[in-house]
Structures are given as structure tokens and as C-alpha cells.
A and B are shown apart, each in its own frame.
Chain A
Amino acid sequence: EAGVAQSPRYKIIEKRQSVAFWCNPISGHATLYWYQQILGQGPKLLIQFQNNGVVDDSQLPKDRFSAERLKGVDSTLKIQPAKLEDSAVYLCASSLWPRGGNTIYFGEGSWLTVV
């Protein structure tokens, strides 16, 4: 079974530019998550979708970050304009929840460097 797919794997941009990350979850997984992991820290949840609806975006910096999951499958996370402190790995994850267990499975991540 295919895992969570993410692209691009690596991105370097200048501050104030924009960037977008794409995620395709495991087939059949209703819930999709975007996490931000800064070097030396644990992953921090940015936004959680159940099908195509947002169920938690309380930690998403909405002045610069946006995300969508229009058809309940793929998702895109956008940052505009980027700041230096946005340099991190952006991890997409999915889970069967609420139809199944709440274990989440991560993609390989998109590494962002803002210079």
C-alpha cells in the first residue's frame, strides 16, 4: 500500500516569497494533518482536515499560512509571505480516524529553508 506522498522534498526561498506544498494521503484515510517540525523540536500540528472540512486550525498562523483539501483527498499548504522562522520540515500525515484507529502515518516531509 502506498504511503503518504509529499512534494517537493526540498525548497529554498527568500524571505517574503511564497511556497506551496502538496500532499496525497494514504488511500481511504479520512483525516489529513499538516505538522511543522523545527530542528530539535517535536512536530507541531498546524491544521487537521476530516474529509474536506477543517476540524482544527487553532495553531495555524493564518496571516501567512493557508491550507485546503478541496475534494477530500489531496491537500496543499501555502506560506505567503515566508519568514526566516518558517524554515522547518512540513510533514503531512493521515489516519483512518474517525472510522478507524487514531494512529497517524507521516510522509517524508517537505524541507523548507527561508534565506
Chain B
Amino acid sequence: RKEVEQDPGPFNVPEGATVAFNCTYSNSASQSFFWYRQDCRKEPKLLMSVYSSGNEDGRFTAQLNRASQYISLLIRDSKLSDSATYLCVVNKARTGANNLFFGTGTRLTVIP
């Protein structure tokens, strides 16, 4: 079973729409969770960390459900510039190492 699983999409949504991505992880001992954004032919960049109580950054809201082992990302009022691949990332810390596992990414295209 993969450490992190995501729906690869693509998600094609009109400008102004609300879109949500989910991601599941396999290891209940995972401790840190992130969403990264990757533009075409660019490196992944941190979008936001995901905290247990949920957190919001402008139009972006991240939620964590430890009981069900899933993470979500909600984007409100989608902009053309939100078009990218969104990578779910889960940390599995162990002695001496900081292991971050990446999902395959969910591709979003925002349409004018």
C-alpha cells in the first residue's frame, strides 16, 4: 500500500468555483502534513502546513482527520493562477531521519 494516495484528477473548474482535494495516508504514526504546489516544469513549493485543528490561509483551507487518516485542501474562489498540481505530503519521522512522502499529485486547471 502506498504511503500517500491522491486522486490524480484532472480537476477542471471555472473561475470562482470552490474545489476540494482529498488525500489518504497509510501510517497512523505520521506526524506532520503538508500541501505543496507544483507548477508545470517547476519544483514543488510549500503551499501550507496542515494542523490538527485545521488551518486557513486566505482562500485555502486545510483539514486533517487523524481517525480516518485523510487530509483535505479546499480552494475557494478559484483563480486562473491556481492552475497547478497539488501534492499531498506526509512525514513519517523515525529516529535520525525526517522522511517526507509525496503523493502523485492532483492536477487542477481553472478555466476562464
Contacts and interface: CB of A to CB of B under 8 A. Distances in A.
Binding site secondary structure of chain B? strand
B45 interface: yes
B61 interface: no
B100 to A, nearest CB: 6
A102 B102 contact: no
Interface size class of A (residues with CB under 8 A): 20 to 34
Given A48-B98, A56-B97, A102-B98, A40 B104 contact: yes
Given A98-B98, A102-B91, 17 more contacts: A31-B98, A41-B104, A43-B102, A45-B99, A45-B100, A48-B97, A50-B96, A56-B99, A91-B43, A95-B98, A102-B32, A103-B34, A103-B46, A104-B100, A105-B46, A106-B43, A108-B43
Interface of B: 4, 8, 32, 34, 42-46, 49, 87, 91, 93, 96-105
